[in-house]
Structure 1
Amino acid sequence: MQTSPAALPPTVWPARGRHVGSAAADVLRVNLRQLKDGAVVDDFLELKEEQVFEARWRVDGEVTVRARLTLGSDGEWVLVAEAEQPWKVAWASPVGMFWPLEPDAGWDHDTVAGLRFRDVNRLPEDDKELRRLLRDCVRDSWALHIVVHEAMTPDEGGRRPLTGHLPPSLRHRVVEHRAAPHQLRAVNWALKEFDVQVPRGGAVVLSPLPLDRDTGADDFSVRSVFLDGTPPTELIDAVTRFAGLPRPLPEGAEEALTALREQWRLTTAEEELVRQRELVAMYAEALEAMTNSRDLYREAAERANEALAAYREAGAEAPRPPAEQPGSPLQQLTRTLERFKPRRPPRDENGAG
């Protein structure tokens, strides 16, 4: 039976991408060291054999964020962060707590080949390739994807990526696609598969989610986007609202979140003290259970010896054990011994047995 994917907790921020080039671990190590020296992150830890980096920092002055980045051999990275409170889009992106944010950094490639987070991604001219790309974005990417149609060829300011205007926590989770003026019909033909359309000169959020009856695709469609370098207010609002919708964890994110919660190693002194106390309490409970179990089984063994001695005294042959009964093994053993106990013949009036 197929189970539904777990819901994305409101405290969790997931992202996945690919680092292009060599020495990805060195890039992470150097950047984390610089951020710790600059008091941007409180601390970090590298688990070299596992290619895992952990970091801890604070937002809003006192809310602790814990994050874990796993680096694959092919450069693919998975980053899951969790805060002590529901995530706010105004908080700093966890990506910037691990990777350097220079324009030429190699980390900002989506797992869908050819796409980048901080750049304008031109849609393919070939119709089949266009449809295949959008389908891969919906099925395989953890990012949010927006499709922007250029009503006319923009100037230099309009050619800059719009994602830079998004709230900090969304800038590295959104991929921006651009359709040239002549591509409107081809793009909307490809978007029919996902029940969305991009208005002429506007934009739409490409939804990988089944939207409920109270929320339609039109709620995340923007009629006009001015590509003149000014912040696209309506588009920012649409992307922010979409990012706040309840959603399932992306495929593979549940395992990453479990690892963050259960395999976390970057503990503070206070957290380590609490952990040790919990371990002591757990061991004490286990020891008490073992002691009680030993005493109970010792009692059962004594009763078994008494029953065996009674059979030998009576010269009786022990009957076969009854069929297995419900209950604990100790309960079953006790019931069995009660049945094994021989019944002595009643004494006569003269006291003879």
Structure 2
Amino acid sequence: MSNSATDRATIPQTLWAARGRHPGPAAEDVVRRTLGRHKESGDIDDFAEPPAPDDSPERTFEARWRAGGTVTVRARLTLVPRAGRPEGQEWTLVAEAERPWDDAWPSPATLFWPEAGPAESAEGAWDHHPTIAGLRFRQANALPEDDKETRRRLKDAARESWCVHVVVHEAMTPGEQGRLPLARLLPPGLRHRVMEHRAAPQQFRAVNWALKDLGVEVPRGGAVLLPPDPAPEDYDGREHSVRTVFLDGAEPTGLVAALRHFVALPRPLPRGAEEALTDLRENWTLTTLQEELERQRELVAMYADALEAMTKSRDLYREAAEQAHQALAALRDAPAPLPQQQRSGARTPAALQQLTRTFERLRLTAKGPRPAPAPDGPPTAPGAPGTDGAGAMEPG
């Protein structure tokens, strides 16, 4: 696993991002119905479905709401059919707030997707991991019994940086409450950005063997967060290890603290997230009247700057052209050149020098600043006498 930073931009603290997979054939219908219900209830201010190009299989949905009643949030969900699969769509969801994200705010996932409903129904099957089969956001995903398969799964999970992967070890076989996923006990803003991997009591050694390559280990009866890839320079896995996690239905305070610390790290944006965020910012269609007015003002200012630059360029070219015409006129009025033998040491006519300088300015106007011209002066006459006295007369 890479431990060095990359050139990717860091995750803004105003951003909430996740991606997953809906295995059914009608994901867009589920999203439309869910957004419609939330608009009727007032949970969101409005939503839209921007038209897609005729040859694009993607479907895009936008929604805006006010988190905490005052903070505007803009969100965009994109559905893409799975390559080579007759059914199922992968989804990407990015939401950006006007100020740093508060994990007490509602999860954007539950404003586009239904939070309740049977897990395998069309209304509730949206929470599958996009690339690793068998993983779901709202479940305690049991690690495979095969040690090598466990190692492979955790390695694959570590490369997936859209969500936070947590490995929880059961110190003893839990009761009914303990078998429920911990995600239901997390703050809403963290709930659908965390993937829980559950290790049975007898898997303690096997899971730490699998985690060895990642540089972390899970305490017995505790939990550990898989490190990001690439990890920040000052990353310390011990800060994201929880010694004890009680599986009795109580709030896992230690795990919540570790998760909050983790998501606040200056981590690089996941692959594809930067493009999704840029698309949200630059191609947003669900604008208010005030936002549209401000956008038109920005366009007017941009066009005014461009027009001013064009006008300045035109004036520069006009001035240079006038100087060129003056130089040509002066050259026409100059006397005829002398025969070759009579002008071997003559200087270049002043009109020709002026014309040359004018055309040089014309050439450099568009390319950049003109270098300073060399000083004009007569060339050194060849064969000038020296000072060594070679021409002195000899005494008679």
2:242 and 2:127 map into 1 onto residues whose CA distance is 26
Picking from 61, 76, 98, the partner of 1:68 is 76
Residue 127 of structure 2 aligns with which residue? 108
Give 1:330 shift: 2.1
Give 1:325 shift: 7.6
Q: Is the 8 A contact 1:326 1:332 kept in 2?
A: no
Residue 347 of structure 1 aligns with which residue? none
Give 1:265 shift: 1.4
Residue 41 of structure 1 aligns with which residue? 44
Change (3 A) 1:17 1:334: closer
Picking from 57, 64, 73, the partner of 1:56 is 64
Cα-to-partner distance string for 1:81-133 (whole Å, 9 max, x where unaligned): 11111111111111112111124212101122221000110101111111111
Deviates more, 1:189-198 or 1:301-310: 301-310
Give 1:221 shift: 1.7
**Given residue 56 of structure 1, which amino acid in structure 2 is its aligned partner?**
R
Match of 1:259, SS state, is helix
2:115 and 2:180 map into 1 onto residues whose CA distance is 17
Picking from 149, 158, 164, the partner of 1:138 is 158
Residue 138 of structure 2 aligns with which residue? 118
Q: Is the 8 A contact 1:211 1:217 kept in 2?
A: no
**Given residue 295 of structure 1, which amino acid in structure 2 is its aligned partner?**
D
Picking from 77, 86, 89, the partner of 2:91 is 77
Residue 112 of structure 2 aligns with which residue? 98
Question: How many residues align structurally?
Answer: 335
2:22 and 2:94 map into 1 onto residues whose CA distance is 16
Change (3 A) 1:312 1:253: same
* Higher relative helix content: 1
Residue 324 of structure 2 aligns with which residue? 304
Pair 1:185-2:220 in alignment: no
Picking from 101, 105, 110, the partner of 1:87 is 101
Residue 344 of structure 1 aligns with which residue? none
Give 1:197 shift: 1.0
Give 1:268 shift: 0.5
1:333 and 1:232 map into 2 onto residues whose CA distance is 64
Q: Which runs of 5+ in 1 are unaligned?
A: 340-353
**Given residue 21 of structure 2, which amino acid in structure 1 is its aligned partner?**
R
Pair 1:217-2:225 in alignment: no
2:37 and 2:364 map into 1 onto residues whose CA distance is 60
Of all paired residues, the percent bearing the same amino acid is 59
Cα-to-partner distance string for 1:40-81 (whole Å, 9 max, x where unaligned): 111111123152111111012211011111211221111111
Give 1:195 shift: 1.4
Q: Is the 8 A contact 1:110 1:141 kept in 2?
A: no
**Given residue 39 of structure 1, which amino acid in structure 2 is its aligned partner?**
G
Give 1:328 shift: 8.0
Q: Which runs of 5+ in 2 are unaligned?
A: 53-57, 83-88, 338-348, 375-396
Q: Is the 8 A contact 1:300 1:333 kept in 2?
A: no
Change (3 A) 1:321 1:33: farther
Change (3 A) 1:331 1:21: closer
Match of 2:218, SS state, is coil
Residue 23 of structure 2 aligns with which residue? 20
TM-score, reference length from structure 2:
0.78
Picking from 243, 246, 250, the partner of 1:230 is 250
Match of 2:168, SS state, is strand
Q: Is the 8 A contact 2:34 2:113 kept in 1?
A: yes
2:222 and 2:361 map into 1 onto residues whose CA distance is 68
Cα-to-partner distance string for 1:138-165 (whole Å, 9 max, x where unaligned): 1134110111111222121111101110
Residue 11 of structure 1 aligns with which residue? 14
Give 1:327 shift: 10
Q: Is the 8 A contact 1:16 1:79 kept in 2?
A: yes
Picking from 309, 330, 333, the partner of 1:289 is 309
Residue 350 of structure 1 aligns with which residue? none
Q: Is the 8 A contact 1:300 1:334 kept in 2?
A: no
Q: Is the 8 A contact 2:161 2:228 kept in 1?
A: no
Q: Is the 8 A contact 2:170 2:201 kept in 1?
A: yes
Change (3 A) 1:3 1:116: closer
Give 1:321 shift: 5.7
Match of 2:279, SS state, is helix
Q: Is the 8 A contact 2:60 2:76 kept in 1?
A: yes
RMSD of aligned Cα (Å): 2.7
2:264 and 2:205 map into 1 onto residues whose CA distance is 30
Pair 1:194-2:214 in alignment: yes
1:46 and 1:58 map into 2 onto residues whose CA distance is 19
Pair 1:268-2:297 in alignment: no
Change (3 A) 1:183 1:284: same
Q: Is the 8 A contact 2:50 2:61 kept in 1?
A: yes
Change (3 A) 1:334 1:113: closer
Match of 2:178, SS state, is helix
